[in-house]
Amino acid sequence: MKAIVLCAGKGTRLRPITHSTPKHLIPVANRAIISYVLQQIADAHIHEVGIVISPDSGGMIREAVGDGSQWGLSVSYIIQETAGGLAHAVKVSRAFLQDSDFLMFLGDNLIEGGVVPMIEEFAAHKPQGLVVLKGVEDPRRFGVAELDSNGAVIRLVEKPKEPKSNLALVGAYVFTADIHEAIDGIGPSWRGELEITDAIQRMLDMGKVVRSHVLKKDSWWLDTGTMTDILEANRVLLEAGDGEGKEGLFGGLVNGENSVASDVVMSGCELVKPVSIAAGCVLSDCRVGPHVSLGRGARVNGATIANSIVMEGAEVSGSIVLQNSIMGARSRVTGSGGGKLSTVFIGDDSSVQLG
């Protein structure tokens, strides 16, 4: 079995951060989002991985991931010239996939427990497709699946006005090569894209079997498409202690406790767990946490920070109370907030003065 990881999206809802950093490289719990995805694929004993990238941001992803050897993977790169939809990403990956069964994983989605259970279910039942589903409060925002009594998919509807179930499609799928014929049999949707929901429905119309893997009600699924989503992912992963990572991808967290690199300089600081503080940080007269990730070389002086991500080389100084914030690399927030809570969302090399 092979895998493809879809990383060609522009991340427009995460601007200004994504003007300079692909959303798949945004650090949560001090690890790039894509590093969690690749680790979960490696844990499923899949070796050959194709990463689908766009021409504009693909270079940064290549530089960060390399050949995949740090995860024990063999990574190839596949260019998706235009944003043509998820099924289009499969189409442009055909030369890499050939006739292999494959896992398709969205590069900005994180699933508790990884993909091993769904791979095992696919192997046990041998369907032509398998989709991961999660019960959600408002299924009208998602692709929604209707199942029979045996857990087989009988119908898929994209963003239905009147959903017949609350089971939303999560960003992971497993297919046999039959999906390629199904994709060849569909046309663009009203959005001008080849939709994976249309391709799966086409498989069903062709008489193929598509099974479901429903995540447990209390398990988490993180779709990191917005600022709120990114902060929630940071919170969940810090709490779970899932940030323990590879050197070179932002450091790590161990067992949900505070993780502080050995060379961090601290004076007069209070840390409220869980936090992750990467190498080279300098902290003085500050309060950091809970749920804060400080990237390499970040500096905090006199401030209080909670539920935030401060990226590499960024600085927060002054009597500022910062929460629910994301600061890009080498950005600066300074001044005096007078004890008032402040929230910022700024890109790389930006500067904000709080009164």
Segment among 122-131, 301-310, 340-349 with least mean pLDDT: 340-349
- For residues 33 and 100, state if they share a domain: yes
- For residues 309 and 175, state if they share a domain: no
Segment among 8-17, 80-89, 170-179, 279-288 with least mean pLDDT: 8-17
- Given a cut of 60, is residue 244 above it in pLDDT? no
Segment among 13-22, 96-105, 297-306 with least mean pLDDT: 13-22
With respect to residue 176, please indicate whether it lies within any of the assigned structural domains: yes
- Given a cut of 90, is residue 355 above it in pLDDT? no
Q: Determine phi and psi for 200, rounding to 5 degrees.
A: -65, -40
What are the tokens at 51? Answer: 């990463």
Q: Is the dihedral of CA 6, 225, 30, 61 positive or negative?
A: positive
Among the candidates 200, 223, 246, a domain finishes at 223
Q: What residues make up the domain containing 117?
A: 2-223
CA atoms within 13 A on the CB side of 154: 8
Among the candidates 207, 223, 239, a domain finishes at 223
Q: In which region does residue 330 sit, left (phi positive, over 0), alpha (psi from -120 to 50) or beta (all else)?
A: left
What is the DSSP pairing of strand 299-301 with strand 315-317? parallel
- Each residue's pLDDT tens digit, 329-347: 999 999 876 667 788 898 8
**What's the domain count of the chain?**
2
Q: How confident is the model at residue 292 (pLDDT cuts 50, 70, 90)?
A: very high
- For residues 161 and 276, state if they share a domain: no
pLDDT of residue 263: 83
Which CATH number does the domain housing residue 284 bear? 2.160.10.10
Residue that is written with structure tokens 């070179």 in the block = 248
Which CATH number does the domain housing residue 60 bear? 3.90.550.10
**What value does the mean pLDDT take over residues 246-250?**
37
Share of the chain above pLDDT 70, in %: 92
**What value does the mean pLDDT take over residues 241-251?**
43
3-state secondary structure the chain: CEEEEEECCCCHHHCCHHHCCCHHHCEECCEEHHHHHHHHHHHCCCCEEEEEECCCCHHHHHHHHCCCHHHCCEEEEEECCCCCCHHHHHHHCHHHHCCCCEEEEECCEEECCCCHHHHHHHHHHCCCEEEEEEECCCHHHCEEEEECCCCEEEEEEECCCCCCCCEEEEEEEEECCHHHHHHHCCCCCCCCCCCHHHHHHHHHHCCCCEEEEECCCCCCEEECCCHHHHHHHHHHHHHHCCCCCCCCCCCCCCCCCCEECCCCEEECCEECCCEEECCCCEEECCEECCCEEECCCCEEECCEEECEEECCCCEEECCCEEECCEECCCCEEEECCCCCEECCEECCCCEEEEC
pLDDT of residue 108: 82
Segment among 21-25, 125-129, 211-215, 249-253 with least mean pLDDT: 249-253
What is the DSSP pairing of strand 109-111 with strand 221-223? antiparallel
- Given a cut of 80, is residue 291 above it in pLDDT? yes
- Each residue's pLDDT tens digit, 199-222: 999 999 999 999 988 887 777 777
Is the pTM value of this prediction over 0.95?
no
- For residues 282 and 181, state if they share a domain: no
**What value does the mean pLDDT take over residues 62-86?**
90
Across-strand partners of 132?
213
With respect to residue 229, please indicate whether it lies within any of the assigned structural domains: no
- For residues 156 and 275, state if they share a domain: no
